[in-house]
Amino acid sequence: MAELTYRAAVARGIAQEMERDPSVVLIGEDVAAAGGVFKTTSGLLEQFGPVRVRDTPISEEAIVGGIMGAAMNGLRPIGELMFSDFLATCWDIVVNQIAKTRYMTNGQVSLPLVIRTANGGGTRFGGQHSQSAENWAMAIPGLKVVAPSTPRDVVGLLAASVRDPDPVIFFEHKNLFATKEDVPDGEIVDRLGEAAFRTMGDDVTIVALAAMVPVAIEAAGLLAAQGVSAEVIDLRSLVPLDTAAFLGSVAKTGRLVTVEENPRLCGWGAEIASIAAEECIWDLDGPIVRVTTPHIPLPAAAELEDLAIPDAQQVVRAVLAMA
């Protein structure tokens, strides 16, 4: 057991899979000698050498095109995009080629690749470097979408993503990189599509993802002091989605709140709400409530960014209002 930061857990997860499987390679801007712009790949060049850990030009199209070709030819590549916002520059390759190749070849060509990218706000990077883009990827058939909230889950979910036969977009939240926890020694491999219950409760179900998970947990503590028992579910992945976890919880609590960093319009919480309304409406004791970022570009000013991104007090107010 060792204490790891979220950023160090990324390097550990990649190293675990590169040690296990020689077909796993890593490419991206500054991932080699510099150890990654967020220092998430430190030590990998020294451990695995320049053939398997390679810097690329500043071209997202080159990175995702390169890992697509590598995956088609027997490798299990990991490509890093510095910011999830930059998916927009290579979205055609991701959406129209990577996501559809296995289907359009009737399974003759699979693409076991991972696109890792730094996601989300809270770090004062402004509107072009702070977006939560996981709902973009969730909308595309053929992509799997993963967003861990803890260092331990970074290792286990990254391993599962590398081993998956389909393309995975792995969102690492920038505002979580410095967080720490004890992570067990040895190999860690999770299953995609399994949510985690972070707190247990009877009065309200709170569903969250990535950096909103600690926000929801903090809110659950504040609610407990007021006599409200909240069950916090960390989805961990959006595709596949663990619908059984939150539907079962709602059947018990009768109330559902989603907490997401996406802008409100077409955020992933809308899909959760839709599923709950279809599958367990008679279990609900009131309207489903979504706590979201407003439908705005995120500002760089500290006070304005903090105002835009949901915090624990906002979640508490939402729960108390519905109760």
130 token code pair: 């702070």
Q: What is the dihedral of CA 65, 71, 75, 79, to 10 degrees?
A: 40
Q: How many CA atoms lie within 13 A of 14 on its CB side?
A: 31
Can you tell me the distance from the alpha carbon of 115 to that of 284, in angstroms, rounded to the nearest whole number?
A: 37
Question: At what angle are helices 243-253 and 268-280 packed, to 10 degrees?
Answer: 60
The candidate with the shortest Cα–Cα distance to 2, out of 215, 182, 229, is 182
Residue with tokens 């890093």: 80
230-234 and 196-199 strand pairing: antiparallel
167/289 Cα distance (integer angstroms): 32
Query: How far is Cα of residue 51 from the mean position of the Cα atoms in its chain?
Result: 28
User: How far is Cα 198 from Cα 36, in angstroms, rounded to an integer?
Assistant: 30
Residue 289 to residue 305: CA distance in whole angstroms = 22
Residue whose C-alpha is closest to residue 279's, from 247, 255, 241: 247
| CB count in 10 Å sphere of residue 225 | 8
Asked if 173 is an active-site residue, the reply is: no
Instruction: State the catalytic residue, choosing from 12, 129, 236, 290.
Output: 129
Q: How far apart are CA 171 and CA 237, in angstroms?
A: 10
In angstroms, rounded to a whole number, what is the distance separating the alpha carbons of residues 292 and 272? 13
What's the CA gap between 212 and 233, in Å, rounded? 11
Residues marked as catalytic:
129
